[in-house]
Each structure stands twice: as C-alpha cells, then as structure tokens.
C-alpha cells in the first residue's frame, strides 16, 4: 500500500475533498441553519415564480414533489448555498460535448430522458444539468482506459427518477443511472454517487474466485470493525452500515474510496487491527491490480 508521489494519479480537487468531513456553510451564509443546510444537501430547492417564492422538491427522490411558499431571504440563502455546494445550471454545452465525445470514443452511450420511458439516445443537452456534464467528464478522464472500454459499462444515463428502490442513482446491466435527485442536490453527493455506481462496473468484473476471496476479506474487516466510510448523501457512519451486510456494495464503495480518497484509504488500511490489516491489504491490492497498477493520491 505504498507508492512514490510521482506514480499517483489525481482526481479533481472537488472529488478528493470527499476524504475530509463535509464542511458546513452555516456561519458563512447569513441565516443558514443546520436543518436548512441538510435539506438543501438532500435536494430541497427554492424557486422564484410569478406569484413569489416556493421551496420544495421531490418526495423520496421520486417523480412526485411538494412545494410551499417561502420568502426572498430563503431564496437568497439557497442561491448562495448552490453556488458553493450545489449544482448550478449552465447554458454552456462545453462539458456536455466533452463528456459525449469521451464516452462515444470508448463505444459507450450518453442517454437521457425519463426513467419510465425509452431512453433518448443520445441525451440532449439540458441547461439544468449544465455543470454536471463537465464534472463527470473530469472524473472519467482520470480513470484507466480499460475501465471505460470494458463490457461491464455500456452507457451513462442522466435524468429521470428511480422506478425501484434506487432513487438517487443506480447501476443496471451496464448502465449507470444518475436520477434527478442526484442532479439537483449537493455536488459532493453527485460525485460520490457517480463513483460508487462506477464501482459496480468493477465489482461485476471481478472473477468468481476473486469475489470469493474478497468476500472473506470483507467479513474479516467487518468483524474487526474496520470498514471505511465517506460522508456524502448521508453520514460516513451510515455509509459504513450500507457496506456492512452486502459485499457488492462494499466493493463498489471501495472503488470510490480508492479513486477519491487514495491516501486516506491507505492510511485507514495501515491502521487496521489484527487480521483486518491483511484483509485490507488484499482488498487494496485487488483494486490496484484491477486498475492496472494505477494508484490515486
């Protein structure tokens, strides 16, 4: 779990920030409360209409939504929060064009449209997702070419909503889905969810014997209370619970950790107690092999 600095790849700074606790903007934005900040992070939005200001959003990440009246002060706080922590719309198609070219060059599709309808192929540019395209492109270009070319990744679908238990994002038959819930809340959550879902392409790609070995390593890490959690969408503790009982979710989350939190992940692994140290070494080395020897700083 050691490498010289000049061998490390680096994700964009916004992605690498996932290794640190999520800093609050309360005190930085006048009047912002912890409760309101949590709601904004979880996709609650404020809009200006011809009749005034409304606050609300989707219910549980689905297609239904509920809105209520609010005032201009709430709107101003939301705009300030969104500029720092959220995902602003943009009319500039540069990020969209770059993302689409990158995916198409690897034989993959960029899909759009509602999840309850046939996908739009290719996805049209939508200003409401304007900043999203560039963020995703900047992540994908730091990943190994063989990961983008593999059969376990067929498409990236942006927009719509989850039709099953997955309301924020999902991975199904080679397609990574980023639903509206993930695209209208916090930037940090989008980045974490995207790399987690990308992690499922690697989790599926492991050979059967590798999966069995990693299953035993996961059990050892769990038994020693040595799981690694990253704060996005929910707390780091909740992400640990998410991994505890399902090894496939553990492996997908560890791809996120490997790419976004490389140095912090290595430090956590080296500090693991007892047999968990060797289990962590096995997990890390398996990922390093899967990434063709590429490590992230």
**CA-closest candidate to residue 214, choices 268, 242, 205:** 205
pLDDT tens, residue by residue, 251-289: 999 999 999 999 999 999 999 999 999 999 999 999 999
Give strand pairing partners of 46.
55
Asked if residue 60 has pLDDT above 60, the reply is no
Asked if residue 94 has pLDDT above 60, the reply is yes
**Mean pLDDT across 182-202:** 96
The pLDDT, as a whole number, for residue 228 is 98
The pLDDT, as a whole number, for residue 64 is 63
Asked if residue 5 has pLDDT above 70, the reply is no
How far is 242 from 245, CA to CA, in rounded Å? 7
Structure-model confidence comparison of residues 160 and 270, the more confident one: 270
Asked if residue 152 has pLDDT above 70, the reply is yes
**CA-closest candidate to residue 232, choices 179, 273, 193:** 193
How far is 294 from 6, CA to CA, in rounded Å? 11
Calculate ∠ Cα 140-293-19, nearest 5°: 55
The pLDDT, as a whole number, for residue 163 is 60
Backbone angles phi, psi at 66, to 5 degrees: -135, 135
How far is 95 from 43, CA to CA, in rounded Å? 22
pLDDT tens, residue by residue, 105-123: 999 999 998 767 888 999 9
Question: DSSP states of 150-175 as a string?
Answer: STT--EEEESS--SSS-SSEEEETTE
pLDDT tens, residue by residue, 175-188: 999 998 899 899 99
127: its two tokens: 């200003």
Q: Residue 111 in contact with residue 119, Cβ under 8 Å? A: yes
Asked if residue 2 has pLDDT above 70, the reply is no
The pLDDT, as a whole number, for residue 36 is 97
How much of the chain exceeds pLDDT 70, in percent?
94
The predicted model scores a pTM of 0.93
Asked if residue 139 has pLDDT above 70, the reply is yes
Residue 6's pLDDT band, with cuts at 50, 70 and 90, is low
The pLDDT, as a whole number, for residue 280 is 98
The pLDDT, as a whole number, for residue 59 is 58
The pLDDT, as a whole number, for residue 165 is 55
The pLDDT, as a whole number, for residue 160 is 84
pLDDT tens, residue by residue, 25-38: 999 999 999 999 99
Domain range list for the chain = 5-11+206-296, 31-85, 94-187
Backbone angles phi, psi at 157, to 5 degrees: -115, 125
> Which run of H or E residues covers position 112?
strand 109-112
**Mean pLDDT across 124-129:** 95
The pLDDT, as a whole number, for residue 65 is 74
**Mean pLDDT across 44-71:** 83
């Amino acid at each position: 779990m050691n490498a010289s600095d000049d061998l490390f790849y680096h994700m964009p700074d916004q992605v690498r920030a996932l290794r640190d606790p999520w800093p609050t903007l309360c005190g930085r934005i006048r009047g912002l409360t912890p409760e309101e900040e949590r709601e904004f992070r979880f996709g609650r939005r404020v809009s200006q209409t011809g009749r005034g200001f409304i606050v609300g959003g989707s219910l549980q990440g689905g297609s239904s939504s509920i809105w209520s009246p609010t005032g201009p002060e709430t709107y101003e706080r939301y705009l300030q929060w969104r500029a720092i922590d959220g995902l602003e719309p943009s009319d500039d198609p540069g990020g969209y064009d770059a993302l689409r070219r990158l995916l198409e060059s690897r034989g993959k599709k960029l899909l759009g449209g509602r999840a309850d309808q046939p996908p739009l192929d290719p996805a049209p540019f939508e200003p409401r997702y304007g900043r999203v395209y560039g963020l995703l492109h900047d992540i994908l270009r730091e990943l190994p070419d063989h990961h983008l070319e593999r059969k376990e990744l067929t498409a990236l679908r942006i927009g719509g909503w989850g039709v099953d238990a997955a309301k924020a994002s999902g991975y199904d038959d080679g397609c990574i889905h980023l639903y509206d819930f993930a695209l209208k809340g916090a930037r940090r959550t989008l980045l974490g969810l995207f790399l987690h879902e990308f992690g499922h392409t690697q989790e599926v790609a492991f050979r059967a014997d590798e999966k069995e070995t990693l299953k035993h390593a996961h059990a050892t890490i769990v038994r020693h209370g040595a799981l690694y959690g990253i704060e996005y969408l929910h707390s780091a503790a909740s992400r640990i619970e998410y991994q505890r009982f399902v090894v496939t979710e553990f492996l997908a989350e560890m791809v996120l950790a490997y790419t976004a939190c490389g140095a912090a992940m290595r430090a956590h692994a080296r500090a693991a107690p007892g047999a968990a140290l060797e289990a962590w070494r096995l997990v890390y080395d398996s990922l390093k092999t899967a990434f063709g020897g590429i490590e992230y700083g």
